Amino acid sequence: MTAATREAKATNIVWHDGSFTRQERESILGRKGFMLWFTGLSASGKSTLATALEQHLVAHGVSAYRLDGDNIRFGLNKNLGFSDQDRTENIRRISEVAKLFADSTTIAITSFISPFKADRAVARELHNAAGIPFIEVYADVPIQVAEQRDPKGLYKKAREGVIKDFTGISSPYEAPEQAEVHIRTDLVSVEEGVRKIVAYLEERDLLTLSKGVKRDSNGVSDTPSKAIKA
Ligand SMILES: Nc1ncnc2c1ncn2[C@@H]1O[C@H](COP(=O)(O)OP(=O)(O)O)[C@@H](O)[C@H]1O
Ligand SMILES: [Mg+2]
């Protein structure tokens, strides 16, 4: 991240605390927010998996919300391109917004290529510092498979030189070394990928789909989900 994008421009501002802590909010609402950060090449399956996971969670009465790379670039980040600096700023903004969702007790699901390790580390650190679990999900696929899939015709355009700075072709992708969940999307189905993520979350007591979201440890136990539809 460059100094320019990190520089705080506002002065004379004072943080205004809320009237209850996140733990108290979680207890009252009976659910816990955290961050699921998808990373991977274009066409690796981030959006497909993230959408299927969001649908699965919401169908079970769990508050989950997806922030998708392309969608965010239509609005909040429409003034950013794909230079290294803009990609970094893209991730910084989305980290901050997703953190707000998680802080509000919603499961934040982001699907951005997020090709640079350093930027993902900044996102992780931001959540760590706030005490919000950060789970990196690596949608992994050989570039040849991603290029064959090419659902948006972007690899073709990148090969033709029409798109500059295209990850995996003319811009690097730095693969995670220790993602919490690693999914080879050319080897497992979308359903299996979702199952793998849910299993990881349940193992760590972040989620109990049969009973609703696991509450935090300050004295409130699990309660059955009100809206199990799936
Ligand atoms: N197991 C799988 N997991 C995710 N996507 C898959 C899988 N198998 C095939 N695909 C296909 O790969 C493409 C992935 O596209 P998309 O989800 O838009 O990727 P990204 O968001 O990473 O750019 C879709 O056309 C999807 O149907
Ligand atoms: Mg996508």
Whether the CB of 139 sits within 6 Å of ligand 1: yes
Mean pLDDT, the chain, as a whole number? Answer: 88
Using a cut of 0.95, tell me whether the model's pTM lies above it: no
Number of domains observed in the structure of the chain: 1
Q: Which of 42, 114, 171, 225 is catalytic?
A: 114
**In this structure, which ligand is nearest to the CA of 138?**
1
Ligand 1 centroid vs 120 CA: distance in angstroms? 21
Do the domain assignments include residue 123?
yes
| CATH for 119 | 3.40.50.300
Task: Enter the DSSP assignment of 54.
Answer: H
Do the domain assignments include residue 63?
yes
Distance spanning both ends of the chain, measured CA to CA? 42
Please say if the pLDDT value at position 217 is more than 70.
no
Establish whether 114 is a catalytic residue: yes
Do the domain assignments include residue 154?
no
Do the domain assignments include residue 85?
yes
Q: Please identify, by atom number, the ligand 1 atom nearest to the C-alpha of residue 69.
A: 21
Extended strands (E) in 85-212: 107-111, 134-140, 181-184
Do the domain assignments include residue 191?
yes
Residue 110 sits in which domain range?
Answer: 33-142+173-204
Do the domain assignments include residue 71?
yes
Give the model's pLDDT for residue 119. Answer: 92
pLDDT tens per residue across span 124-135: 999 999 999 999
Please state, in angstroms and as integers, the Cα–Cα distance from residue 126 to each residue in 23, 66, 132, 179, following that order.
18, 19, 9, 17
Q: Please identify, by atom number, the ligand 1 atom nearest to the C-alpha of residue 49.
A: 4
pLDDT tens per residue across span 47-72: 999 999 999 999 999 999 999 988 89
pLDDT tens per residue across span 12-47: 888 888 888 999 999 999 889 999 999 999 999 999
**In this structure, which ligand is nearest to the CA of 46?**
1
